[in-house]
A and B are shown apart, each in its own frame.
Chain A
Amino acid sequence: MLQVYLKELTELLRDRKTLFFIIALPLIIFPVMFGLMGVLVANVAMDEQQKVLKYSLINGEQAPEFAEALFYHRDFTLIELPLANDTEINDAVGNGEVDVVIQISENHQQVLDNSSQDNWQVYFNNASQLNFVKQKVNKVFNSYVTNIRQQRLTELNLSNEQFVAISKPVVLKTVDTADERESIGEQVGGILPYLLIVLCMTGAMYPAIDIGAGEKERGTLETLLLTPMPRVSIVMGKFFTIMTTGIITALITVFSLVFWSFVIGEIADVAVVRRILSSVGTGDLLLILLMLVPISSIFAALLLAISIYARSFKEAQNYMGPMSILGFFPVMVAMLPGIKLDGFWSLVPISNVALAIKEILKGTIDYSMLFSILASSTFFAVLSISFCVYWFNKESVLFR
């Protein structure tokens, strides 16, 4: 078995595609991709922030202070348009004549005189996630509203403190009993298991196809089967190779993300990363690594079984697609709010590991659960491997 394992590993490490998927992709491509995305988003955001908005004001005479503040504000430039109804306003915004239309009510002054509440409308295209129209308009609008409020308070002979006491007689303050680690764990705990588990599978996919269907296609599998090496040893050698690459891919990717997050800065705040790393001890990290072993073994066995069934590289790739969805689903379930690691969930393969990693990160893991998680995962892994060995002994599968 060791012979097969070492040979498979040597071959994989000499394959450019494998090296690309396992090492280059997580180490360079992902960070470059994220970095580029960060730079692009930052540039777009900066452009949007610096953009001078073209605006039209309807019934501006009703709020001359507001109209004046807008007119002289560096973020706005006035476009005079005869806008009579909603259709014309929508068209003006839609075809880019203006970025925003502010419609002041026709009887705004009268409403103010009656000390009532008025309603204005702001028309703009809010589809883009990166637009600052609302913030920019709010800035001028809030200043105008603050002035009016101040006037009214003076008229009513009320101080700001009295106004606050009237508008909010009681304030409910929340005190978070979760320590920093638990809070961070809750935030990161959903993403990290997803990343680790999914990468364990995707990292194992290419090697699985290569040493199963790939070997079948290249004609080397038949030669291998003609050696006195028992089929179980061949399967186990291949299985451990796939498992190793899955775990290595996950670890390299996580290491790469953490490393580049320090370097790039845009991906994650350095202080946050330091706090996360310092709050999770070496023992916990080893425990997370331990959790990856049974999960990788389940994936490795299933992927190898699929790969060995397929007649060609292409056919194996076709089967892997639906398999990925099956793998992602239990992880997604574990990310749902309200799903917690308990007696039942500790027995559900894949989901249990995702939940356990989350709990480890939060520092709230019930260590007794680890036994049932490992027992359940090992059971499913052994089942998958047995199935793999069974298929490896089937002539109808090997010589399809």
Chain B
Amino acid sequence: MIEVNQLTKTFRLSKEAKKQAKQNKLDPRQQGQNFQALKNVSFSCEQGQVLGLLGPNGAGKTTTLRILASALKPDSGSILINGEDLVKKPQLAKQKIGFLSTKTGLYNRLTAQENIEYFARLHGMAKSDINIQGELLYQQLGIEDYLHRRVDTLSSGMMQKVSIARAVIHQPEVLILDEPTTGLDIMATETILEFIESQKELGRPVIFSTHHLDEVSMLADKLAIIDQGQSCFTGSISALQEQTQCSDLRKAFMKVLSLKGEA
């Protein structure tokens, strides 16, 4: 289980961002030299649950996921995986979390296998474990045929599969996916969706951010909606529909955002 409690994150604005902010409408999150990206964001995801993280562009989804993956440090708040606080132990977070985004994060000049094994070694895996876990994954994802091909010769679907293998080779306890299907073709998108489904069956909590509400309705057990760095809603899809009195997920999502705006 992963529990995110009261996450807050402030960035110091760069000169360019300050200029941009002056030109555009003033964002209420901008406070002098600082920009409050997140304010008291909380949600949780049980074992075998898929949580869809929703929000408009610039809402703070990527910042949230980067904090979960320990790429960024929060100003305050906690992230607990089965009771262990990852904010205090970022190295532990990196062991327990698998991260995937649209950018495959693969090295083009290495082969598919070299990429996967490189990340496995960086996670401290022994050669024998890499071989055993690798064999299983390659078979499961059906990537054996192009394991020895350089990544820059692979199709986007193939790359996504390799990227999945790269993200889970170290057998993480939680999976985090940042807009994993954005810009992908139907085949590659299908690969990702099937993968999320399989992880759910394995009992791994999966947190994924997306703009595609059809994917959310198909996969998510739970939603966390954030806007302007703050939580708007946390709960199941049916709870959202009930709260907004809208059966259409898109309308329900829009209503939550407008209610937050009014508040």
Contacts and interface: CB of A to CB of B under 8 A. Distances in A.
A228 B95 contact: yes
B73 interface: yes
A3 B127 CA distance: 13
Given A228-B122, A396-B14, A14 B109 contact: yes
Interface in A370-399: 395-396, 398-399
Contact of B103 (A219, A224, A225, A228): A219
Interface residues of A, number: 24
Interface residues of B, number: 32
A227 B121 CA distance: 10
A15 B97 CA distance: 31
Nearest to A227: B122
A400 interface: yes
A229 B14 contact: no
A7 interface: yes
B119 interface: yes
Interface in A1-45: 3-4, 7, 10-11, 14-15
Interface in A345-380: none
B89 to A, nearest CB: 11
Interface string B95-139: 101010101111111100010001101111000000000000000
Nearest to A393: B73
Interface string A220-261: 101111111110000000000000000000000000000000
A218 interface: yes
B108 A218 contact: yes
Nearest to A13: B109
Given A226-B94, A228-B124, A11 B103 contact: no
B7 interface: no
Contacts of B121: 3
B70 interface: yes
Contacts of B119: 223, 227
Given A10-B110, A220-B106, A226 B71 contact: yes
B187 interface: no
A133 B91 CA distance: 77
Contacts of A225: 71
B86 interface: no
A11 B107 contact: yes
B254 interface: no
A220 B122 CA distance: 14
| Most A C-beta atoms less than 10 A away, residue of B91, B97, B105, B166 | B105
B250 interface: no
B69 interface: yes
Interface string B207-240: 0000000000000000000000000000000000
B107 A220 contact: yes
Shortest beta-carbon contacts, A-B, top 9? A223-B105, A219-B103, A227-B122, A14-B109, A228-B94, A11-B109, A229-B122, A226-B99, A226-B69
